[in-house]
Chains A and B, each alone.
Chain A
Amino acid sequence: MALLAAGVALLLLALFVAHERRDPGSSAGAPVEDAATQPGEHLAPRSTAGGERAPVQRPSDPLGALNPHEVWRGQVAAAVRRAALQRLGRPLASEAEARLVDAIATVGPAARGLDRDRLDPDDPASIAAMRERTAALVAADQVCRDELGIGIAELMHVLAPGAIEDGAASPAPAG
């Protein structure tokens, strides 16, 4: 019953948010088209000649102006900072943090490539790709071990400890 109530509440919230996104100016008048507005300017209320306040223009999409790659780097850097504080009790030096974020950036393409592509034993490019992707993962993992003292897989577990309860954490690398 509680689940049902929570579901209904979430549904109402989701519908409200969706409605607001579809019509962002519905409660403050129509948005003013102003391509010349500099970032931040449109956030300030303006006065009309008659002294009335003009409708406040909301940013059309706060994330739209950001580079997705930079957003990703920011998220990973924040995660790395959190792990560094937890593991080392201090943040990493900015160069070390950048090195680790760079290393983590290589993990996704290599891991997904290995996971996605079937090995073609007759294609030297397929074999080379498999070799290079594996080497990239091992190298990235080594950077993480150098900087944080743990591998990337363990870093992920540190960052999301509740997802899997490890009742048998064992450091020994064995079969």
Chain B
Amino acid sequence: MRFGTTFLFLLLLVAVPAAALEPEQSAPKGLVSFGDSITRGFDATLPADNLNQSWANGTHGFIEKLFGLPDVKSHNERISANFGDSGRRNVVLARNGAKVGSLDDQAAQTAGKDYTYATVLIGGNDVCRDTIAELPTDTEFATDAAVGLVELFNNLPDGATVQVAAIPDIKNLYEIGIDKTALGIIDCKRLWNLTKEGFPCGSMLSPDNTEADREYVQQRNIQYNNILHFLTLIGARHYTNLFISWTDKTFTYPFSADDVSNIDCYHPSSQGQRTIARETWNDGPFKDAQKGS
């Protein structure tokens, strides 16, 4: 009797669709991520790339458990939990240092690959430049973003889903860094100075900037997000074969000191990656699919 009950239960688990999709929408089993070092989990827990801690592609399998790493409950993990493991792909095309102008290069790699779910989080390196004078104009940013997004939309098969996320509030990261410095956790100002060759962000982090400078850069940050949002809406209207959505949670969420890496005072920590994963998923196209959350 117990055997029969268990059998029936497992049969139902296999047979029932894990999560509802829109008509014509493909299950997001072929995940591909676009963006920069945030999506590569840079400095999230250990120095350099932590792909397994990525909000989009993160994994929590045997090796992560063996090494004792935290689970960020990434989009990748949530997809497997809600839509199953079979036929899964988990691809990261995000590159460290990528600006929005390189989105078209990243997107070109998707041609013919039949990815069914793409995440886009890019633009932080457009806000972060050596100097304020180097920040792209609206036209430059809009042109680069449009070219990249069109390349992506054109390369995805019918029924694919795209989520474009806002550039995080870089000024908020600066303020968190200042708080960490004041608390004596880590000297972020010194660290920013030491690492400026690696990921230059003088436009926001330079000690020579005034508060007015930083507010100006924040306004550029907001304007770039307005452009990305607008282009996403246009794309959603034009590409009716795709399911394109926008989230601003990556900008509006009140990240705290725990969400920012202690290694570089800039990138998201494992907590920050988990926060991004949760907030973007719950504001995204599969928010009703809550297994693995």
Would you call B48 and A151 a contact (CB within 8 A)?
Answer: yes
- The complex places the Cα of A43 from the Cα of B200 at a distance, in Å, of 65
Interface residue? B1 (CB, 8 A): no
- Tell me which residues across on chain B come within 8 A of A157, comparing CB atoms: 49, 51-52
Quick check: A15 and B6 within 8 Å, CB to CB? Answer: yes
By the criterion CB–CB under 8 Å, are B63 and A156 in contact? yes
Considering the complex, which residues of chain A in the window 147-175 have a beta carbon less than 8 Å from any beta carbon of chain B?
Answer: 151-154, 156-157, 159-160, 163-168, 170, 172-175
Is A28 an interface residue, CB under 8 A from the partner? no
CB distance from B141 to the nearest CB of A (A): 16
Shortest CB–CB separation between residue B54 and chain A, in angstroms?
8
Q: Which one, B61, B95, B128, contacts A168 given CB within 8 A?
A: B95
- Which among B3, B37, B61, B68 is the interface contact of A108 at CB below 8 angstroms? B68
Taking CB atoms, residues of chain A closer than 8 Å to B266 are 175
A114–B94 CB distance below 8 A:
no
> Does A112 belong to the interface (CB within 8 Å)?
yes
Contacts of B95 in A (CB 8 A): 168, 170
Contacts of B70 in A (CB 8 A): 111-112, 115-116
Contact assessment for B67 and A11 in the assembled complex, using a CB-CB cutoff below 8 Å: no
User: A75-B66, A108-B68, A112-B70 are known contacts. Are A173 and B15 too (CB-CB below 8 A)?
Assistant: no
A137 CB–B CB distance under 8 Å: yes
Q: Does B10 contact A (CB under 8 A)?
A: yes
Give the contacting residue for A152; candidates B41, B46, B262; CB below 8 A: B46
Neighbouring A residues of B36 by C-beta, 8 Å: 175
Stretch in B183-191, B227-235, B236-244 with 4+ CB within 8 Å of A: B183-191
A172 → chain B, closest Cβ, in Å? 6
In the complex, the answer to whether B14 meets A7 with C-beta atoms within 8 Å is yes
Which of B41, B54, B90, B262 has the most CB atoms of chain A within a 10 A radius of its CB?
B262
Smallest distance from the beta carbon of B118 to chain A beta carbons, Å? 13
Q: Which of A109, A114, A140, A164 has the most CB of B within 10 A?
A: A164
A163 and B36 CA atoms in complex are apart in Å by 19
B198 to chain A, nearest CB (A): 5
- A175 with B37, Cβ < 8 A, contacts A3-B14, A151-B47 known: yes
Contact between A107 and B93, CB atoms less than 8 A apart: no
CB proximity of A23 to chain B, nearest CB, Å: 14
Are the C-beta atoms of A115 and B270 separated by less than 8 Å?
yes
Q: Residue on A with the closest CB to B62?
A: A160
* Contacting residue for A115 out of B45, B89, B109, B263, CB 8 A: B45
Question: Are B257 and A119 in contact (CB-based, < 8 A)?
Answer: yes
CB pair A127–B185 under 8 Å, yes or no, is: yes
B262 touching A173, Cβ below 8 Å = no
Verify A173–B199 contact, CB threshold 8 A. Answer: yes
* Contact partner, B45, options A3, A153, A167, A173, Cβ 8 Å: A153
Q: How far is the CB of A42 from chain B (nearest CB, A)?
A: 31
Complex CA–CA separation, A99 to B93 (angstroms): 34
A130 B45 Cβ-Cβ under 8 A: no
Q: Residue A4 at the B interface, CB < 8 A? A: yes
Give CA–CA (A11, B37) in the complex, Å: 42
Q: Which residues of B contact A (CB under 8 A)?
A: 3, 6-7, 10-11, 13-15, 32, 36-37, 41-42, 45-54, 57, 59, 61-64, 66-70, 76, 84, 86, 89-97, 106, 109, 124-125, 128, 179, 183-186, 198-201, 256-258, 262-263, 266-267, 269-271, 274
- CB-CB nearest 6 A-B residue pairs: A108-B68, A174-B97, A175-B199, A115-B70, A134-B262, A153-B46
Q: List 15 A-B contacts (CB under 8 A).
A: A3-B86, A107-B68, A111-B68, A115-B70, A116-B70, A121-B257, A131-B262, A138-B263, A160-B59, A164-B92, A166-B51, A172-B198, A174-B97, A175-B36, A175-B97
Please give the residue numbers on chain A whose beta carbons come within 8 Å of chain B beta carbons, in ascending order: 3-4, 7-8, 11, 15, 72, 75-76, 79, 104, 107-109, 111-112, 114-116, 118-119, 121, 127, 130-131, 134, 137-138, 140-141, 151-154, 156-157, 159-160, 163-168, 170, 172-175
Sample of 19 further A-B pairs with CB below 8 A, known A107-B68, A127-B185, A165-B91: A15-B3, A107-B69, A114-B271, A121-B179, A127-B184, A130-B262, A137-B45, A137-B46, A141-B48, A151-B46, A153-B53, A156-B64, A156-B67, A160-B59, A163-B61, A164-B92, A174-B37, A174-B199, A175-B198
